[in-house]
């Protein structure tokens, strides 16, 4: 890692290319281009559908299992995805046995902090690591990367002891703080900041912007696509996290949804239909978030990619 590898590589090559870009196209080329485009579209859809077949299985299986009544077998050969006797009773049972709205609310609170804090704090740390030359930068960055190579299983108990020393056992702060900043997030955001051309920074400084303004007003909006990615990943991590809340929280009323759903796997019965229904309930908010964040790192970038 050491020096930011791409400091002077990418921006230059992009600008060079742009200068050489010839623009006129005659009609002939347009026509063959069009035909080419249709075949390419068909081929693309072919691939898209093929991959869909592979990735949609878990979703189909979860949906179908959650809708199967007691008369339908879950693990049958050949697989049966369409319930013979579709019913919402599994959802009703889950809803009635567990305080789902409360769990969802708890999850929402934990997740909001679990997304906002890493977005801000990781960017804060990544900015100087990517854009400022200072003594010790490599050491700090290396140390951060190095911690990613240590399995969480061995640092879990030390972190727990620290949370305990700080008196945070049983509190949401104790759940949120250890994940408020992650080495992974810093690494990712540093990667994004490095890609920004130096000229943008320079012209901002000439216009009289101070270092904070350069970061907050200029750089931060420019890394939006990567912030979108980090937001989605942090969201999923925070939403699906259950071991840490289990260790830290002592009141079941404060449990997030994933931890609450573990209650469906009792000692004497693990009803797959209920587990599937529970999984669906937990999945819907994630899908919603994915769809809304997708806009940030795809469409927003589409519009801004006309730069240069």
Instruction: Examine residue 113 and tell whether it contacts another protein (CB under 8 A).
Output: no
Dist. CA 212–CA 32, nearest whole Å: 51
**Residue span binding another protein (CB under 8 A) among the ranges 84-92, 103-111, 136-144:** 136-144
Determine how many CB atoms are found less than 10 A away from the CB of residue 249.
21
Instruction: Examine residue 108 and tell whether it contacts another protein (CB under 8 A).
Output: no
Pick the closer one to another protein by CB: 112 or 164.
Answer: 164
String marking each residue 149-168 x if it binds another protein according to CB under 8 A: xxxxxxxxxxxxxx-x----
String marking each residue 283-302 x if it binds another protein according to CB under 8 A: x--xx--xx--x--xx--xx
Contacts from 121-124 at CB under 8 Å and sequence distance 24+?
121/180, 121/181, 121/185, 122/181, 122/182, 122/185, 122/186, 122/188, 122/189, 122/230, 123/189, 123/193, 123/215, 123/220, 123/223, 123/227
Q: How far is the CB of 42 from another protein (least distance, A)?
A: 11
Question: CA nearest 132: which of 215, 230, 32?
Answer: 215
Residue numbers 61-100 binding another protein by CB under 8 A: 61-62, 70-71, 73-79, 97-98
**Residue span binding another protein (CB under 8 A) among the ranges 84-92, 106-114, 258-266:** 258-266
Among positions 175, 177, 219, 281, the unique one binding another protein when judged by CB under 8 A: 177
Residue numbers 197-256 binding another protein by CB under 8 A: 201-202, 205, 211, 214-215, 225-226, 228-229, 232-233, 236, 240, 243, 246-247, 250, 252
Dist. CA 54–CA 45, nearest whole Å: 15
Instruction: Examine residue 44 and tell whether it contacts another protein (CB under 8 A).
Output: yes
**Residue span binding another protein (CB under 8 A) among the ranges 83-91, 101-109, 277-285:** 277-285
Residue 69 structure tokens: 């009544």
Dist. CA 243–CA 159, nearest whole Å: 13
How many residues form the binding site for another protein (CB under 8 A)? 147
Contacts of 300 (CB under 8 A, 6+ apart): 224, 225, 228
Work out the end-to-end distance of the chain between its first and last CA atoms, rounded to an integer number of angstroms.
Answer: 28
Instruction: Examine residue 171 and tell whether it contacts another protein (CB under 8 A).
Output: no
Among positions 104, 109, 181, 218, the unique one binding another protein when judged by CB under 8 A: 181
Residue 42 structure tokens: 């068909």
Among positions 86, 143, 167, 217, the unique one binding another protein when judged by CB under 8 A: 143
Q: Is 240 exposed, middle or buried (0-12, 13-18, 19+ CB in 10 A)?
A: middle
């Amino acid at each position: 890692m050491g020096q930011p590898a791409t400091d002077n590589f990418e921006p230059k090559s992009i600008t060079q290319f742009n200068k050489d870009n010839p623009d006129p196209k005659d009609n002939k080329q347009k026509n063959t281009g069009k035909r080419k485009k249709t075949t390419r579209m068909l081929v693309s859809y072919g691939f898209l559908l093929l991959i869909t077949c592979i990735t949609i299985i878990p979703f189909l299986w979860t949906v179908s299992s959650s809708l199967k009544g007691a008369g339908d077998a879950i693990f049958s050969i050949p697989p049966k995805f369409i319930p013979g006797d579709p019913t919402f009773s599994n959802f009703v049972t889950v809803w009635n046995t567990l305080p789902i709205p409360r769990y969802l609310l708890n999850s929402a609170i934990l997740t909001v902090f679990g997304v906002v804090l890493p977005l801000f704090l990781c960017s804060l740390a990544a900015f100087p690591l990517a854009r400022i030359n200072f003594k010790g930068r490599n050491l700090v960055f290396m140390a951060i990367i190095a911690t990613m190579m240590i399995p969480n299983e061995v640092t879990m108990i030390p972190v727990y002891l620290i949370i305990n020393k700080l008196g945070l056992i049983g509190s949401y702060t104790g759940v949120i703080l250890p994940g408020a900043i992650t080495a992974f997030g810093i690494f990712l955001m540093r990667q994004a900041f490095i890609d920004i051309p130096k000229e943008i920074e320079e012209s901002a400084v000439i216009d009289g912007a101070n270092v904070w303004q350069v970061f907050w007003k200029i750089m931060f909006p420019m890394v939006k696509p990567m912030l979108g990615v980090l937001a989605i990943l942090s969201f999923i991590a925070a939403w699906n996290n259950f071991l840490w809340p289990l260790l830290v929280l002592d009141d079941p009323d404060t449990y997030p949804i994933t931890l609450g759903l573990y209650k469906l796997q009792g000692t004497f019965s693990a009803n797959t239909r209920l587990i599937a229904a529970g999984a669906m309930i937990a999945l819907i908010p994630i899908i919603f978030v994915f769809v809304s964040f997708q806009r940030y790192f795809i469409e927003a970038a589409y519009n801004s990619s006309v730069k240069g």
